[in-house]
Amino acid sequence: MKKKNKRLITILIFMTFFTFGCAILLFNLRENLIFFYSPTEVFEKQIETSQMIRVGGMVKEESLVKKIKTIEGRQLEEISFVITDFENELVISYIGILPDLFKEGQGVVVEGFLKNVDKFVAKTVLAKHDENYMPPEINDIKSIKDKKI
């Protein structure tokens, strides 16, 4: 009887810890999720400017522009390009070196913040290992699928 009680208590303690741990885990998960949108969804949904999101689509042909900007006394190159899902477009601006596999007319995913209704400041432009590889996220955007077929 006593031994049984002891086991029961141990199990209960473990269960409590486990539930507590899971609660923290899920709460943390919710806080740190990064949602992925297509340009059309960016327009349709209300997205806060403080929320980090990912946007994916095709880089519009001949949309890549490089501009020199002076920030804090240093000359920097601001890169801007347009992401399209063939329904809507979104202008992306980015400071940094573009990944090697970045090309106009190819799929891209950027991570960053929405500044205006039609301007997005990217913190990261995601590169992939393979030039023929299309991120599944982009593949799922319906209008791009239709266009490709």
Partner 1 sequence: MISEIGFVFLTLTLVISSFSFAQLIYSHINSRLFVLNHLKITNLIFFFTLSSFISLTYSFLISDFSLNVVAQNSNSQLPIIYKFTGVWGNHEGSILLWLLVMTFFGFLFSKSSSATEEFKNNVLKIQNSLCFLVVSFIIFTSNPFEKSFPYPIEGGDLNPLLQDPGLAIHPPFLYLGYVGFSIIYSISVAALSDGVKNYFIKILKPWVFISWIFLTCGIGLGSWWAYYELGWGGFWFWDPVENASLLPWLTASALLHTIVVADKKKIFINWTIILSILTFILSLLGTFLVRSGVLVSVHAFANDPTRGVYILLLLASISFFGIFKYINKNIQFRRADITLISREGMISLNNIFMLSLTFTILVGTIYPLFASVLFNSKISVGAPFFNSILMPVMFPFIAGMIIGPYTKWGKDDLIVLLNRIKILILCFFIISLSVWYLNYKTPILSIIFIALGCWIIFSSLFEVYQFINKKLTVPKKIFAQITAHIGIGLLIIGATGSSILKQEKIQFQEVGQSLKIKNFDVEFLGVKKIEGPNYISQMGVFSIKKQGEQIKILRPEKRFYNAGKQVTTEAAIHSSIFGDLYIAIGDVHEDKTKWTTRIWFNPFTIWIWIGVFFLASGGSLSFLNSLSRK
Report how far residue 63's alpha carbon sits from residue 68's, in angstroms, rounded to the nearest whole number: 16
Least distance CB 99 / partner 1 (angstroms) = 5
First to last CA, the chain: 70
Report how far residue 114's alpha carbon sits from residue 42's, in angstroms, rounded to the nearest whole number: 9
Q: Which one-letter amino acid corresponds to residue 108?
A: V
Residue 67 pairs with which residues in a beta bridge?
Answer: 78
Q: Does 100 bind partner 1 (CB under 8 A)?
A: yes
Window of 57-65, 81-89, 114-122, 123-131 that interacts with partner 1 by CB under 8 A: 123-131
Are 144 and 85 contacting, i.e. CB atoms less than 8 angstroms apart?
A: yes
Exactly one of 42, 82, 109, 122 binds partner 1 (CB under 8 A); which one? 109
Computed over its alpha carbons, how large is the radius of gyration of the chain?
Answer: 22
Are 110 and 94 contacting, i.e. CB atoms less than 8 angstroms apart?
A: yes
Identify residues 20-79 at the interface with partner 1 (CB under 8 A): 21, 24-25, 28-29, 31-37, 52, 54, 66, 68, 74-77
Exactly one of 99, 105, 145, 147 binds partner 1 (CB under 8 A); which one? 99
Least distance CB 14 / partner 1 (angstroms) = 9
Residues that bind partner 1 (CB under 8 A): 21, 24-25, 28-29, 31-37, 52, 54, 66, 68, 74-77, 95-97, 99-101, 109, 126-131, 133, 135-137, 140
